[in-house]
Amino acid sequence: MKRIAPVLLLVLPLAGCQGWQSALDAHGPAARTLADMFWIFTAVLGTVWVLTMGALLLALRKRRVAGTDPLATDPATERRMTIVVSTAIGLTFLTVVALTGISYGGQRALYGHRDGAISLLVTGRQWWWQVTYEDPQTNRVFTTANEIHIPVGEPVLIKLESVDVIHSFWVPNLTGKMDAITGRQNQIVLQADRPGVYRGQCAEYCGLQHAHMGVLVIAEPKEEFERWRNRQIASAQPPSDPERQRGMEIFMSKPCVMCHQIRGTDAGGKIAPDLTHVGSRRYIAAGTLETTRGNIAAWIVDPHGVKPGVQMPTIQLEPDEVQPLASYLEGLK
Amino acid sequence: MTRALAPHDAALDAVPEPSRLLTGRPSGQPGMKSEADAPPDPRELRDDQVDGPELTARLATTWGTTKGIIGALSTVDHKIIGRRYIITAFVFLFLGGLSAIAMRMQLARSESGLIGPDLYNQLFTMHGITMMFLFGVPIGEAFAVFLLPLMLGTRNIAFARLNAYSYYVYVFGGAMIWIAFMLNIGPDVGWFAYPPLSGPEFSPGKRTDFWAQMITFTEVAAIAVAIQIVVTVFKFRAPGMTLDRIPLFVWAELVNAFIIIFALPAVVTASVMLIMDRLVGTHFFNPAEGGDVLLYQHLFWFFGHPEVYIIFIPATGWVSAIVVTFARRQAFGYIPLVLSMIATGFLSFGLWVHHMFTTGLPQLGASFFTASSMLIAIPNGIQIFCWIATLWDGRPVFRTPLLFVMGFFFIFVAGGLSGIMLASVPIDAQVHDTMFVVAHFHYVLIGGNVFPLLGAIYYWFPKFTGRMMSERLGKWHFWLAFIGFNITFFPMHISGLMGMPRRVYTYLPEMGWGNLNLISTLGALMLFGSFVVFLVNVIVSARRGALAGPNPWDAGTLEWAAASPPLPQNFDRIPVVTNREPLWAHRETLPVAAGLSVENREVIVSTVTAGRADLKETSPEPSIWPFLAAIATTITFVGSIFTPWAIVWGGVPTMITLLGWFWPKADKESET
């Protein structure tokens, strides 16, 4: 019974791998190639495992007369076994060559071309992703964080860099991972077939908050993407209601401005996420908390309770300052 | 049991001239004279002049270890040191296992607050380095230290004092890192310690320096033992043990020793460069000053991949020994088995880049490493097929050791096959650094090393202690371990494919990994329970197990000719080997060579290929100096964590102890 249990378990992922961060739930051409290769390899190698274990069990089931000399060997049996073992080795060799060929084909399909309609510079930082949309027109270049929008059906070139330690950019529903290495630039192409929200996560151990370094990729139709991009390029609108105006004053008078930028205001820090349109992003703290006023307040009051060790310091705030501040940030759509 | 070999004994036909030992006539290289060519001193008592209990007692005195704490610390007996080595490695296995259980408890549910990120990162780092450096490498060598001289028919390991020294260095290094962990200054940068994360900017404090010096400690110890193994196998074999009569276990240890000698210097280089970046401001791995972070990865994995085989190859030796004994048939395909071990050893140095497929290397180069990584399936396949053929044509006897070898087949082959997936550049892009990889290498390492190891403990326990282990508890142990292992690690394949990275201390509930992780944790508890059964079995059996006698399994290799547990001299007279399985070929009396001194520690040095007795050589007497030298080394290494000047002033005590160790001293032979 135990022997077939692993085989049964092997079938489980067929049903269980739907998910918004699953390598087998492919939503792009690269991920589909990879998922197909995975299943081909699984089928071939699973067969090899079953055959080998079958041979082992047969070897154990065979009953022979007891009591003969362990050194005595029968030349005919030796010869037969030599033939069988040599054949098995030959088949192993052929399997390995075939799989190497398939692997090489997949590699060419995946890394063959290296350009996209749009190019992004994604910089890994402890522990969030800085995203800069490049454009030949410098006034259309903008920076955001932890949320990447891409147009459906178009290849998008991601240039990966790191300013501190090594990270790895991985959105499994769309393609395989690529490291963001200090002092180097790597490139990877993202392409989604249909609209959707795909989650990714840092895949190279990068310190205390490696577990909370998520990224969202949102694939949307071209027009919607362009609308989003134009909104992101624009500076932040000054708030109109008094609570948010108060929140803005608090933000500008606190150390927040040393690290964060809000375009269109005096806040010009460049070492923490750009907050110009933070309210439009689905998550804060690199995919850790959904963007709600309550979560923003909780994060500002105690960032180390949410992400112990995070670079953001705890800012001294009066109790009545928290709500306006959160409200202001949430309003930065 | 044994008798002296007369000059014209029939068994001699198979032995290429062990003539000097038998007749005193010189042989060896023409024109070369050595001490051993001199006729035996008539005043010296030789083992052809006494016999029976008197010979046994006199040899036991000559080779014995004196009582008391100084005696215990001075011993150079490979069996005592080997036993300590094995027990210490198991202590670290249990410590590593406990750190794994702590991690599994934390991951059992999403957003668990049981263990914070700082402790969790220390835990997985300690788990990794304990299993790799303090258990994985030493356990293979530990078995070699105990068993090799017995299997090769000699009385001690080569460089016996170095053997004692290497054990103490290993213990002190392991103790240092665990004490650092207990003081909350344990390393937290992973067992691989990639810069820049491990560099001075992102890991201030001393944590990473402890990691780097732990590497230095264990590598010094491991390389020293590897050298002893190579020399013992090449020069200390019993007369008549030609290359093709060396037991498969010994071949495995020999190949393993060569891999250690060539692989470990790379990681020592990497860790020393890292500690220099941290302590004296070099910039080897600092891109801002022209350094390169990928250089570190190349150096580390040039060691790190062979490391997998350092852990696996000794296990192939255990499997070979157990399969042959319990199949009741000599190994099918001895030569292919040996050649595939050697091929694995060579190929293991050509695969390291598959740990770096996602670093953005040139694609053509990466695909070369895909091919070489897959190629290693062939020598491993040859071994698996030859073992199955041996069982096929044998008459298998199902005892606990063979049961664990069956577990090895089921688990290791599955792990090896998922390794073929990881060898593919594109597939690796998805599963690299996810729980899938965690599942894969636990299938390879637990399946490929721990299961054979447990089988080997059940198999050689009678030789270590003189008593049998309980079969009933052994079967409980096996089934709990086998089922618990699969429940723990199989679901990790799926959680990895569902996007769960490695080395995360927690995960969000909406990721959907909760159930899989809970199953893994329950399996881990079961696996841990199996080790508790094992521990009980070891302790109870060591006290009250059935007495074993010299050869309880009716095995064929030489260690079973010695008493259980072996006497200090191993054998009263050195056996002469005429067959790969000497005890099966000579069931009545084992041919032996005579002519060694009874009063001095003499061993036979034989030729490398033909195993012809060549020289009589003295083996070192016990000495406290290796222990003192290990303490001096420890002071130097630990001191260098805090100041680079420790290398300078630490050199003084180290030099003094080494002078004491090597001080030329007239041996007893020349004094008389």
CB nearest to B117's CB, from A49, A100, A211 = A211
Cβ within 8 Å of residue B86, ≥6 positions away? B139, B142, B143, B146, B464
Which neighbouring-strand residues pair with B173? none
Q: Do B499 and A201 touch (CB under 8 A)?
A: yes
Q: Which residues of chain A have pLDDT under 70?
A: 1-19, 62-67
pLDDT of residue A67: 60
Q: C-alpha B474: how far from its chain's center? A: 23
Q: How many angstroms separate the CA atoms of B668 and B597, rounded? A: 11
List pLDDT tens digits, range A73-86. 888 889 999 999 99
Q: Do A201 and B505 touch (CB under 8 A)?
A: no
pLDDT of residue A63: 65
Q: Structure tokens of B313? A: 């190859």
B48 — pLDDT class (breaks 50, 70, 90)? confident
Distance from CA of B503 to the nearest CA of A (A): 6
What ipTM does the predicted assembly reach?
A: 0.93
For chains A and B, count residue pairs whose Cβ atoms are closer than 8 Å: 267
Q: Structure tokens of A166? A: 């090594």
pLDDT of residue B38: 56
Contacts of A100 in chain B (CB under 8 A): 370-371, 374
Which segments of A221-324 are extended strands (E)? 283-284, 289-290
Of the CA atoms within 13 Å of residue B515, those in its CB half-sphere come to: 4
Contacts of A14 in chain B (CB under 8 A): none
pLDDT of residue A109: 83
Residue in the block written with tokens 């082992």: A56
At residue B44, the 3 state secondary structure works out as: coil
Interface test with A, best of B356, B440, B508 (most A CBs within 10 A): B508
Residue B116 and residue A308 in contact, taking contact as beta carbons nearer than 8 Å: yes
Return the top range by mean pLDDT from A254-258, B18-22, B662-666. A254-258
Q: Do A103 and B424 touch (CB under 8 A)?
A: yes
How many residues can be counted in chain A? 333
B37 — pLDDT class (breaks 50, 70, 90)? low
Residue in the block written with tokens 């040599």: A86
Q: How many angstroms separate the CA atoms of B159 and B626, rounded? A: 11
Q: DSSP of A104-131, one letter per residue?
A: HHHHHHHHS----SEEEEEEEETTEEEE
What CA dihedral angle connects B636, B639, B644 and B650, to 10 degrees? -30
List pLDDT tens digits, range B498-513. 999 999 999 999 899 9
Which of A292, A244, A281, A285 has the alpha carbon at shortest distance from A265?
A244
pLDDT of residue A13: 45
Higher pLDDT, B435 or B669: B435
If you average pLDDT over residues B107-123, what whole number do you get?
95
- Other beta carbons within 10 Å of A7: 12
List pLDDT tens digits, range B640-656. 999 989 999 999 999 99
Read off the DSSP letter of residue B111: T
Q: Structure tokens of A49? A: 């495992």
Q: C-alpha A245: how far from its chain's center? A: 37
Contacts of B480 in chain A (CB under 8 A): none
Cβ within 8 Å of residue B73, ≥6 positions away? B624, B627
pLDDT of residue A19: 66
pLDDT of residue B667: 56
List pLDDT tens digits, range A13-72. 444 445 679 999 999 999 999 999 999 999 999 999 999 999 999 998 866 665 678 888
Q: DSSP of B172-209, one letter per residue?
A: HHHHHHHHHHHTT----STTT--TTTTSTTTS-SSHHH
pLDDT of residue A65: 61
Residues 510-569 of B with CB under 8 A from A: 511-512, 556
CB nearest to A96's CB, from B375, B414, B428 = B375
For B292, the enclosing helix (H) or strand (E) is none
Which of B180, B319, B330 has the alpha carbon at shortest distance from B638?
B180
CB nearest to A34's CB, from B360, B382, B430 = B430
pLDDT of B267 strictly over 50:
yes
Q: Structure tokens of A138? A: 């410098």
Which neighbouring-strand residues pair with A186? A160
Phi, psi values for residue A2, rounded to 5°: -60, -30
What pTM did the predictor assign?
0.93
Cβ within 8 Å of residue A4, ≥6 positions away? none
Percentage of chain B beyond pLDDT 90 is 83
Phi, psi values for residue A47, rounded to 5°: -60, -45
Q: How many angstroms separate the CA atoms of B618 and A272, rounded? A: 70
Q: How many angstroms separate the CA atoms of B530 and B523, rounded? A: 11
pLDDT of residue B40: 62
pLDDT of residue B44: 78
Q: Structure tokens of A11? A: 């079938």
Cβ within 8 Å of residue A309, ≥6 positions away? A207, A208, A209, B117, B118
Residue B189 and residue B270 in contact, taking contact as beta carbons nearer than 8 Å: no
Lowest model confidence (mean pLDDT) among A196-200, B243-247, B590-594: B590-594
Average model confidence (pLDDT) for chain B?
91
